[in-house]
Structure 1
Amino acid sequence: MQLGEVYFWTNTIKDWKKLLKPDKYKQVILEQLQWLVEQKKIAVYGFVIMPNHLHLIWEMLQMNGKEMPYASLNKWTSSSFLRDLRQHHPLALSSFVEDTKERKHRFWQRDPLAVLLPSKQLVEQKLEYVHLNPLQEHWQLALRPEDYLWSSANFYATGKDSFSILTHYQDRF
């Protein structure tokens, strides 16, 4: 991903495990997004956090030290997941063991999907996809997009940003 470009980004938990099903892990992701927004490292135009993956429509605004903000998001959330699993769910931690020189655990699959969104029309298309994700038959997490708490759908329906991370895509395009 390049700075100053808007992307549709999908990040998936290793082996599609439903690590993000508990709300506390969704909150970990949102807290890091809040921090990155406050530090003016990213702009978030849309999101949904599902039980085993997340979709973001976002823009990297500037580096976070020597790394891209998406790398910071992955590192920070991974360390938070590790800390909580060690303390509260040690048996579940074995699902995420990866004994390599780089790391002992992996929570996010390698190579998240990043699709450049150079136009308002593409952003709108992906935003609709993101907001309808919780309604898919195999999920059935809500009856209407705006009813699913872990999404930007309510922001676009009401104008209220419950998480203080969102920028309306029309402010960008």
Structure 2
Amino acid sequence: MSDNYGFKNHQQGIYFVTLTIVEWIDLFTRKELRLLIVNSLNFCIEKKGLIVYAWVIMPSHIHMIISAKGEFELSDIMRDFKKFTSKKIISEIKVIGESRRGWLLEMFEKAGEYLKRIKNYKVWKDGNKAKGIETVSFMNEKLDYIHNNPVEDMIVENPEDYLFSSARDYCGQKGLVTIEFLR
């Protein structure tokens, strides 16, 4: 994570980030794992200073528009989020009735096999693909991209129908993650 998780020296900006599962594995096909991410995001919002403006959980990745409050640094929050969720995901895979359990654990073990900092399993790809949001047009582009991702992937017909996205909040419904509005 030598790139400071992609946030460079300006930790207090607003960023569009993408967190990706190693090998683009479709991990978030199980509601238990999606809810684990939702709960972890809400914890980071409540306890770690994360501000989420938009989010979506796709089968193999997560897109968000985020920033951090005051003295909190995004790189620290994202590092802790990924470390915690990695461990919880592995634990959850071992207890839920996941038909791909053996294969998933093998893939995550192989992904971390030659990395000194990984003890057993590597779930997330390194980095966050963080892109600073510096213009209103770029912000709107990424907000629309996040909300329309499940529509483009043919998961739902309308963005607000997808439970694991902030599109619901932006359409006047209560979403699963506490957000702050951009518009």
Q: Which consecutive unaligned segments of at least 5 residues does structure 1 have?
A: none
In the alignment, which of 93, 96, 103 is matched to residue 108 of structure 2? Answer: 96
Which segments of structure 1 move beyond 6 Å, counting only runs of 4 or more? none
In the alignment, which of 53, 56, 78 is matched to residue 86 of structure 2? Answer: 78
In the alignment, which of 146, 151, 155 is matched to residue 141 of structure 1? Answer: 155
Aligned 8 A contact 2:20 2:124 in 1: yes
Give how far 1:40 is off: 5.1
Find the counterpart in structure 1 of residue 182 from structure 2.
169
Aligned 8 A contact 2:163 2:176 in 1: no
Size of the aligned set, in residue pairs, is 165
Aligned 8 A contact 2:21 2:61 in 1: yes
Matched, 1:124 2:127: no
RMSD (Å) for aligned C-alpha atoms: 1.7
**Residues 163 and 127 (structure 1 numbering): CA distance in 2 closer, same or farther, change over 3 Å?**
same
Give how far 1:106 is off: 0.6
Aligned 8 A contact 2:38 2:177 in 1: no
Aligned 8 A contact 2:52 2:64 in 1: yes
C-alpha separation in 2, matches of 1:33 and 1:120: 25
Give identity over the alignment, percent: 26
In the alignment, which of 43, 46, 53 is matched to residue 51 of structure 2? Answer: 43
Matched, 1:52 2:60: yes
Give how far 1:3 is off: 2.6
**TM-score normalized with structure 1 length:** 0.88
C-alpha separation in 1, matches of 2:11 and 2:126: 21
